[in-house]
Amino acid sequence: MTLHEIKLYFAYTSPYSYLAMQPAYDLEQSHSVRLRFIPYGVNIRKVYGPLDREDADRRKVRYLYIDARRIAKERGLVIYPPKKIFSARLAFYGGLYAERYRLFRPYSSRVFERFWKQELDVESRDAIAAIVAEVGLDPAEFLRYADTDARADLDACFAEADRDKIFGVPTFIVDGEPFWGEDRIEWVIRKLDAMGLRR
């Protein structure tokens, strides 16, 4: 059976991407679809506004974390707001590398869980290489990949995001139609049902 591809643009440093992952995985059980996870670097200041002053923009970001923590608590997940804005580039490299060996999910589950418990520095080569090793891959080979092909692979993801007009994560793309936000999953399901893809 040919599976319909759904794109999911995500970031490890996005709490709503974390919250979207399990519902996204569930789609492959409920519908004849295959998910393709595509990393996307979010400029949080462009999406949510400036964060360098005490005003409505900063309050809005704080509120979004409150909502994320409420949803996470209902699902038995932990989300502690990070103490700074992190670059997820190395973690993305690890995800792209793990995907080559069909180990994206166990790798990503560890990255998301530990980052949002403040147990993982996603900017640390050693920390990301250790997770790569945990899922059964060669950390030395990963680090060679990180130093050679990874940047071009990630740039290709960002270029695809530009073509799809992505501006934030998580964003699902279903048959060319975007759905931005973890809370749009019900609309994604309705779209898939209308396409006759329910198993």
Total number of domains in the chain = 1
* 174 within domain boundaries: yes
How would you label 60-83 residue by residue, b for 16+ Cβ within 10 Å and e otherwise?
Answer: ebeeeeeebbebbeeeebebeeee
Q: Specify the higher pLDDT residue, 1 or 180.
A: 180
* 199 within domain boundaries: no
* 185 within domain boundaries: yes
* 82 within domain boundaries: yes
* 57 within domain boundaries: yes
SS3 30: helix
Q: What is the pLDDT of residues 137-196, one digit of tens each?
A: 999 999 999 999 999 999 999 999 999 999 999 999 999 999 999 999 999 999 999 999
> What CATH number does the domain containing 165 carry?
3.40.30.10
Q: What's the pLDDT score for residue 119?
A: 97
Q: Specify the higher pLDDT residue, 140 or 44.
A: 140
* 173 within domain boundaries: yes
Strands 33-39 and 4-10: parallel
Domain carrying residue 27: 4-194
pTM above 0.75, yes or no: yes
SS3 121: coil
